[in-house]
Chain A
Amino acid sequence: MNVSLLGQSEPLAQRLSELRGRAPQRSLDARALAALAANPGCRRRSLLDAAGVDKGAVARQLGRPAPFGQSPFALARGNVFEARLKDDGYAALLEPLRRHLGLPEESGTALAVPDLLRRSSPAVRAERTREALAEAAADPSLWTLLDHPMLRLTVAGSPAHLEPDAVLVHGGRCTVVEIKSFPVLDGSADPAKVGAAARQAAVYVLALQETAAALAGVPAESDPYRAQELPGSPSTTVLLVCPKDFSNRPTAAAVDVRRELATTRRQLSRMTGIGQLVAALPEGTSFDLVPDEGGAPTRPAEELAAAVGSVPAAYSPDCLSTCELGFHCRAQARCSDAVDQLGRGVRGELGSIRTVGAALAAAHAGPGDGTADAEADEASARLRYAAALRAEALGRAAR
């Protein structure tokens, strides 16, 4: 996190809060933070996320709601697995901890599980977690398990609260333990799911780094490739605990998250540069949904669309599965005839040609109609050639 910018963030935070309007701030959870890395070039997403705008509600009001949701069965399955791990004094969870993190067998030192006040407010819980972490890190011989600690991470000048599944502290270092309900089947798991879990865990590691720096009273390291060695500093390897095969027994794997950590830090430090995006907005822009007394939004959709449209988006079809505004941005990309609607790869192939109309015109133009731009010329020539081949193969006259 770029600490030097925090001084300027007071007016920025106020401006962001104005953008959000009267809706409560939607705090960024680890999943949302990790998803930022999916499309870092999108200013629309960066700005709306930094302002804590509920993008799902905006998308609904725009008439293109996101199809996201979690099935109650998936939630139940996740909870059952986690509960099973924590049953009977964490018996099932301790086995992978022993194997991977060197937790000694029952005899000798016991595992301390401090009460982290789970029913309190996030701020109180975060404070309590800091205390518990400081205590646990102070004595290197202790083994402490923080069950659902609450961590704070400053994102774009405002605090986000994050809740890892568990953190194990020993020898002055801590390790993030992430419990997931997707299985490790015959020794391997779905790489997409492991990747998502690693990105999420990296956000926790980042928050723990910040916490450790705050405990030691030093500024957090800004170089993403250097790890600070402070009491309570997190290991950059996290422990992923998943069901083994089709059973409910846990198996664990150590996952190195240094790369995800560096990516996330870069993304977050860019978000502090959000001031420039805010400055570029037209006067009076707001994403307020103007809810009526019953909480139903009353903001006219066209007005809201204009406000959303004042921040440029970088749409790609991946957005449909990661961003609530995906369907809205797709409709926009289609309206503006952008080639991005066909995927990222297409843009690379078409060089500087950006619209479907221009690409088709180039494909069906005669030679020499091209522009002066050499790059566009080459892409056009290839398109023309492809169009001729396609027409020949289909037995149509080239248009």
Chain B
Amino acid sequence: MEARYLAIPSMGVSAPPIQPSPPDILKESGQREVFCGLTSIVWLHRRMPDAFFLVVGSRTCAHLIQSAAGVMIFAEPRFGTAILGERDLAGLADANEELDRLVKDLLERRPEIRTLFLVGSCPSEVIKLDLAKAAERLSTQLLGRVRVLNYSGSGIETTFTQGEDNALVAMLPLLPSSDEEQLLIVGTLADAVEDRFRLIFERLGLTTVRSLPPRRSTDLPPVGKGTRVLLAQPFLSATARALQHRGATLLSAPYPFGVEGSRDWMAAAATAFGVPADHFAAVLDPLVERGRLALAPHREVLAGKRLFLLPDSQMEIPLARFLSRECGMELVEVGTPYLDRQLMAADLALLPPATQLSEGQDVDLQLERVRAARPDLVLCGLGLANPLEAEGIATKWSIELVFSPIHGCDQAGELAELFARPLRRRALLQLS
């Protein structure tokens, strides 16, 4: 049944190999040049403007989020850090009392906040500050006004985008139970992209489509046996498992990057809800066609270019699939912070056979491989981009991918453009 939707003979790229030989995975553990899970707050707080994210941590945590946010754009942001001081560590101050006092002050100043996330950090985990208990206590105190949840974004347990995974898991117990038939899109999307997806699903005849996280933190979708989960982001392993525990069915699909991925992603939902193939084609074909048109000029720049992806956001594998199959790039190495084979199954199957995957990182060794391979483009974090550029290697900063609307057929051109821009720019500059 799936094949009916998945085959896109006119894509102009090679069909998925029948039996891809499993690529050898390079596993490394060493210095990681990857953010911790706290960084997810930077987009989560924008997704849910009625939520506040209070990190319980150190000055480092506060400085990290501020630096990761790049510029200090928000005069008074909806995230902050309860900085532990010597008194808290020495036990001179009761950490729970301190936290209660601080939360009270914060909520007085921000009466519009409906959900407060207490976010655990490395120091709060190491001193075993029980934020679950604190959240419970504060929830009771603030009953009917503010819901208080907790999760860990600590670097000793989470990497970059796993912060969102943990935040969503924390929200799950609040989701009402219902066996109503629905499609649940899980993972933060740009509002405009989400609207677009909803419109297309509506055209396909899917009447009940909901999102997690919601735009308003209190507007939580129900979950139950009738729920089909479509992951919009590839880093939600724990959330996916927890939703399955609540009776939901996880749909397997490539992630909605590029024309092919987005089409197959929607096809998975269409199949699950019994949308007739001809109707699906009638709705999607024009979008696919338009998406390919938008891609074409960027494919010209990217085709044949060699790409090295350093681990960062977990988006590396689906992006590699898109850039190789739809943009014609050659994959030198595809790094990922960790590999969840179940969540990546559909994308892995579409990667060229024997693509070199690497899991984890030892940044010095990986950079040696980058230098040896001299790729045309490296996807990496901002700590590495300028140093690589200074060595003459073109880079694309990965953090832009978690902030930019890149999902869906309509964004395929923009997504490809993000990768083509550094190459175009280098072609433009007549500088030594």
A and B co-occur in one complex: no
Task: Spell out A's residues near B (CB within 8 Å).
Answer: none
Question: Which B residues are within 8 Å of any A CB, using their own CB?
Answer: none
